[in-house]
Structure 1
Amino acid sequence: MHSPNTEDSVVNGDSGVLSDSSDSGLYRDWGVPRHELYRLAVKFYREKHGKAFHLHYQDNISFIAFYNQAHLGQFKEENVQPLGALDVIGRERRAAWQALGDMSMEDAKTCLIDLIEKSCPLFKPYAEAHFRDLEEKTRKAEEAEKEAEIARAMLEKAQLDEDKEASRKERARQRVQDALNAQTYPQFKAYAEQQFPGNPDQQAILIRQLQQQHYAQYMQQLNIQDAVGEGSKTEDSNEVDEEHEEEEEGEDGLPPVQSASMWTRKDVVDFKKAIREEGTEGVIRVGHGETVTVRVPTHEEGTRDCHEEVYAGCHVYPGTGVYLLKFDNSYSLWRSKTLYYRVYYTR
């Protein structure tokens, strides 16, 4: 038997399917393009003919004729090779093809589909399974595309939110830095003029460097304060069994340590004047970026109160030794501080 893709395959024009040039029932049932069903019918013929089904001789002639008409159009003698003198089957196929006349290629496809559907009951479930699978793949592809679109939208929104947050932080950072720069510019400028007299370019470079360092140390100080605040909140949120702690401290041999207290006084001018009159022992010059520590020994018969500028505080010490009063000026790059302090022991 000749393959249906040979150009000289022809069919006898007596086939009854020629009278119906409309779309096949399967085409109407499924609502799929005719060319899709046509390709599926040809594929089914090539895979299953001679195995799962057999066309009658005349139906096979018709199938090949419709195939040639659908692919090559109307039969023309000059477009085909001559047949051998003994090729009877070839002459019948060519005559059937020629009998189709000027039938359109689309009508030929429809007739081929009808022929397969009527001649082989297996074709319809084969086609149904094929299109169900195709429909399922299409549905999954559409769902995947929708999910991908949602993911892209979420990613774009997250990126937009991130950009907005970064922009907000940058504006806040710039406002803080501008405020710090405005506050420290006169002092930094005076310092730069001392370092590079008569050189405005070098002065500007030094001022920028000092401002950047000042901002970095300022932010570092804020971060430290935030961390300390968070630690205090964590400690406050944890319930402590006081009796259990006292037992543990007793076992370690260490007395309980009470928390220090702080308050403020408004007579700072009088306080500073009094400290100056008493001598230089209670006055310390704290340079920029420095931290000083005042060593305060415990008193034999009482507690001690300490005063730091306008701040005053007290602490009940549990044992003898030396206590440390610290004044931190590390956040300041330029300005030095003068610390006035007095130590009291109370009974």
Structure 2
Amino acid sequence: MENAETSELQSRLSSLSVSSFPGITSETCDTNPSDRLQSSDPSQSVARPENQSEMDGNNTAPAQSTEEPVADAAESPESSSSHPGEKKALPALAAATTWTSPELKELKLKLRQEKDSMVTVYRGDIMTIHVPTVPEAQRICWEFATDGYDIGFGIYFDWSPVTSRAITVHISESRPVVPGDVEKGSKGSASNSNLGEILPVYRQDSHLLVQGGSHQFPGEGTYLIKFDNSYSLWRNKTLYYRVYYSA
């Protein structure tokens, strides 16, 4: 049964090529895009259009900021201890740099022309992109937008040693990988002892503004970039995105 579900999910994203993802190249990340992008302000949120109507769970809650304080090691579910068999605390992760841009049309037009940069995240699904760190780069960068409706977005870091440099996509259908309320910020799964949180999953107004950001490699590991549509009962989301490395 599990193999059948996997086959069905993979067929949904048959246009995605694991070996050729949009923007997974080495280039300079625009960490201070003052001429093009607007720095996001955690104290402000973009108002949703009054005529927007979507059968999503808790869709009346205000948009949440993606800027989250760095989790203190003491708050980690894994506490350091000298007792054998007990888990050790994960290293602290620096906060991500995030920004927004009003250039929705420009980004969508550009990404429509790039292979695999435009995908559908189906209702109830979570799409997770696994991007390993590479010696040639120092940062990971992203930009994304959607048509018509918002989408949940979050980033985590798996400290497990990198055994492959392949970029992979995983789909969770109606079984959220990241439990919790997307409006309140879903947390990473505690079942993965090597998983650290960079940005919890929040619903982003990516249909109103381009959402962008970057994060400096904390060490060797793999980024888990999540696009979450698990809260939507009826709406599939058209997603335009690019993820790339920066020296």
- In our comparison, the structure showing a higher alpha carbon Rg is 1
Same fold (TM over 0.5): no
**TM-score, length basis structure 2:** 0.39
Q: Whose helix proportion is higher, 1 or 2?
A: 1
Q: Whose strand proportion is higher, 1 or 2?
A: 2
